[in-house]
Structure 1
Amino acid sequence: MSTDPTGSESFSLPKHPAFQRFWCTRIFSSLSFQMLAVAMGWHIYALTHSAFALGLVGLAQFLPMFALTLVVGHVADTFDRRRIAAICQSLESVAALLFAFGTFGGWISAPVIYVLAACVGAARAFESPAVASLLPAVVPRGQLPKATAWATSANQTAQIAGPALGGLLYGIGPGTVYLACALSFAAAAAAVWSIPLQTKPAVRAPVTLESVFSGIAFIRKEPVILGALSLDLFAVLFGGATALLPIFARDVLHAGPLGLGLLRSGTAIGALAGTIWLAHFPLRNRPGAAMFGGVIAFGLATLVFGLSNQFFVSLLALIVLGASDTISVVVRLSLVQLRTPDEMLGRVSAVNSLFIGTSNQLGEFESGVTAGWWGARPAVLVGGIATITVALLWMKLFPELRLTRSLEKEPELAPAK
């Protein structure tokens, strides 16, 4: 098996051992996190019967990521990223074991769940940029767009299977699902530790205030990356229709709990289909234009969902929404990986992770607030219109992204003599 660094056709990505281990660590870790999220949510609600207490679980996981953003990026650029990921996944496995022991022992309580959720959030804050910045050292540079699509498919597969599997195991008993999470996190740690790298880890740099903030400074100087990150941020922020799915399933579509489950799976099914397509047919020309097209399609699908009174039309709209969002995700990740120097990739990936986490959390909050003001259907319609408006505005504000011809940084033309 050739591992030609130029990314020649002799390199078979799905069959390559290093990428297989990388894919395994992604799917095991994501699957564990999805199962754990379901278990924590059901468990805290069973203990407290409080929607506010349920929301605090997500907040407990988000706050460490927000607080540690600048630190985790520098750590990912200073130490072996495989070791960072393996340590974090091992700590997550220990946290899941404590959940299991607390459940079997009868000493689990809401404060204990919050503390353990915060520990998991802190570990994932370090894990996410380390794993994201590890991929360019695993596959040849020419294979990065395709590898990014395959890696994204691991997350989408976990988002489809994880909640269902977590709910099934929770039906047997909460301790059962926590034990399954512990084993899956441990498998992820073993897989990432065994990955052979094509490139050596970067030389450690001294920690200075300038180096800690250099990821933000780098993004500000790169209009293509800044445009891609901010476009995805505001598109998800305004287009948060999925946060209102329970209302639509019950009051608009009259679909019941089963319908809600199918609607929740719709976006993940569309996203998985999109990543499989992009893995076989990667974007090579005009990726910026493709990203804008994907965001506009995302907004249009949101509008169709908001206007629909038919279950299957709504489900199809969510599938299209998930597939179009995948274009934005793959382009954004590929631009970050291909246009960022390896010695800064961890810090830039950390900022990227913060953008994603912020947009998801604030997007749910924005959807809930606007739905409380105007109702669920107007909130979704306003969000869809806002998403399309942002895409059109960003085409004017970031022409470099719209006109970029390649995922890799294009060489500057020499001035005419």
Structure 2
Amino acid sequence: MAKEDPYAALKYKEFNVFLLVRFAMVFAWSMQFVVIEWEVYSLTKNPLSLGIIGLMEVIPAVSLALFAGHVVDQKEKKGLLVKCILGFSIISLGLFLLTWPTIIKDWSKNSILYAIYFLVFLGGIVRAFLGPTIFSLFALIVPKKVYPNAATWSSSVWQMGAVLGPALAGLTINWIGVHWSMCLIFFFSLMALITLSKIEKKPILNPKIGEPVLESLKEGVKFVFGTKIILGAITLDMVAVLFGGAIALLPIYAQDILKVGPEGFGILRAAPAVGALVIMFTSAHFPLNKKAGLKLLGSIFGFGICIIVFGISTSFWISVIALFFSGVTDGISMIIRQTILQLRTPDEMRGRVASVNSMFVGSSNELGAFESGLTAKLMGTVTAVVFGGSMTLITVLFTAAISPTFRKLDLRKDLLEHENSSQ
């Protein structure tokens, strides 16, 4: 097998456009979530309110996920993505107005809070469709022979957006305030919409157009639960993210524990971004396909260690370093998991598989925020973070012990099969 070109996927023009759209949306969405966290905690000073934000988004995202996967497999992908981005833009505009002092000067604190929760709930509906649509469109832009390399770039861009967005949110809250931070988020969503126009409409590859919804959903779930490698990767990451959701408590650390204010909050949020940047470039040159199972287990174990160190640290810079390495390990985990999903999912089932993945992993970010907020309320912030990191370590050790197949997973064979099939 020839040495893999680290820039193979970037030779396809539409894939570069796709990366820009994905970055802009992940950046805007994650930035918005952090701005909302800061605003809500400033209003309430209650850790549980941070958990409720996650819960408001995860309820519709999980409830509609399977149906959204069915719709994505039945419809043209670019058109669906346009609608998703439009929906997000409307929600961002609503949050911009809700943080405008001139508009809300006569509103009660509870009225503002409930309105924010409502818009977050609508965002959960949009997100149920957004993830499966992006995952499915990805496979129509690049040939299968470059899936692993494309997955590396796509996952790295996602990781960068997911950490750079919150990092900028912390800084802009300090520089220009919550209101104008929301305006910047709205701008990024419009930029994504404009950029998306450079991608052509794609064919629908599903041979079962018009298939009954229940039959379609049953087939998708059956495939995921019948493919042990996919199920293992999804489940492992879900539990790790669920119990490692300490990032949701950063406003408490910045304001009450480390006492570093909005500027320090921005630095803490930026630390994982630097780790993600390192992984983006190194993984493109040093593919993670060899011994992928062990690397996935090791990266999530390392993530758990980082969360524990961050939880017990009372030093600002030790906390920054711990978060930096959490970005490194989380980035490795995401790249490997996305490569597994792309290589082992049939084209006609990508929407449904991605929807199941979003139920397990994507929603676990918000469930993790709720779990962290709830445990922080019950047992204290530091104890809650250490508990979450410890549960992540236990999950990895348990998975490694009971699944030798997963430990021995190597994706080089999958890559070779795709290269041969494309020749």
Tell me the TM-score range normalised by the shorter chain. 0.7 to 0.9
User: 1:237 and 1:74 mapped to 2: Cα distance?
Assistant: 26
Aligned CA-pair RMSD:
3.3
Change (3 A) 1:281 1:205: farther
20-29 vs 233-242, which moves further: 233-242
Deviation at 1:174, TM superposition (A): 5.9
Cα shift at 1:353: 1.1
From 68, 72, 78, the counterpart of 2:68: 72
Does residue 30 (structure 1) correspond to residue 29 (structure 2)? The answer is no
Shift of 1:73: 0.5
Give the drift of 1:407.
6.1
Residue 243 of structure 1 aligns to which amino acid in structure 2?
A: A
Contact map agreement 1:146 1:280 (CA 8 A) in 2: no
Contact (CA 8 Å) 2:245, 2:369: kept in 1 or not? yes
1:71 positional shift: 0.6
- For the 8 Å contact 1:237–1:360, the answer to whether it is kept is yes
Counterpart amino acid of residue 270 in structure 1: G
* Number of the residue aligned with 1:293: 298
Out of 342, 346, 358, the position equivalent to 1:341 is 346
Q: Determine what percentage of the aligned residue pairs are the same residue.
A: 35
Change (3 A) 1:38 1:341: same
Mapped partners of 1:45, 1:253: distance in 2: 16
Partner Cα distance (1:8, 1:293) in 2: 23
The answer to whether the Cα contact below 8 Å between 2:66 and 2:356 also exists between their aligned partners in 1 is: yes
> What's the secondary structure of 1:213's corresponding residue?
helix
Gaps of 5+ in 2: 418-423
The one of 315, 322, 327 aligned to 1:322: 327
Q: Residues of 1 paired with 2:68 and 2:34: CA distance?
A: 26
1:347: how far off?
0.6
- Evaluate the alpha carbon distance shift between residue 409 and residue 216 of structure 1 in structure 2; reply closer, same or farther with a 3 A threshold: farther
Which runs of 5 or more residues in structure 1 are unaligned? 1-5, 412-417
TM-score by length of 1: 0.84
Corresponding position: 1:186 with 2:190 = yes
Within 2, Cα distance between the matches of 1:38 and 1:191?
24
- Structure 2 residue aligned with 1:152: 155
Q: Does residue 106 of structure 1 match 2:103?
A: yes
- Any idea what SS the aligned residue of 1:404 has? coil
Residue of structure 2 in register with 1:14 after alignment: 10
Distance 1:165 1:309, change over 3 A: closer
* 1:26-175 alignment runs, 5 A limit: 26-41=22-37, 49=44, 51=46, 56-100=52-96, 103=100, 106=103, 110=112, 111-163=114-166, 165-166=168-169, 172=176
Structure 1: distance between partners of 2:26 and 2:225: 30
CA deviation string 1:122-169 (max 9, x = no partner): 122111110022212212223222222222232333334434545666
Secondary structure of the residue aligned to 1:106 is helix
In the TM superposition, 1:250-289 aligns within 5 A as: 253=258, 255-289=260-294
Q: Quick one: which of 352, 357, 374 aligns to 1:352?
A: 357
1:301-324 Cα deviation digits (max 9, x unpaired): 233334544433332222112211
Q: Aligned equivalents of 2:323 and 2:62: distance in 1?
A: 29
**Aligned partners of 2:249 and 2:372 also within 8 Å:** yes
Cα–Cα, structure 1 residues 165 and 349, in superposed 2: closer, same or farther, change >3 Å?
same
* Superposition TM-score, scaled by structure 2 size: 0.83
- Of the structure 1 ranges 339-348 and 93-102, higher mean CA displacement relative to structure 2 is found in 93-102
Q: Residues 20-66 of structure 1, C-alpha deviation per residue, up to 9 Å, x if partnerless?
A: 110111112122223433454455567x5464666544433222211
Q: Is the 8 A contact 2:224 2:353 kept in 1?
A: yes
Task: Work out which of the residue numbers 222, 227, 234 in structure 1 matches 2:232.
Answer: 227
Amino acid in the other structure paired with 1:76: V
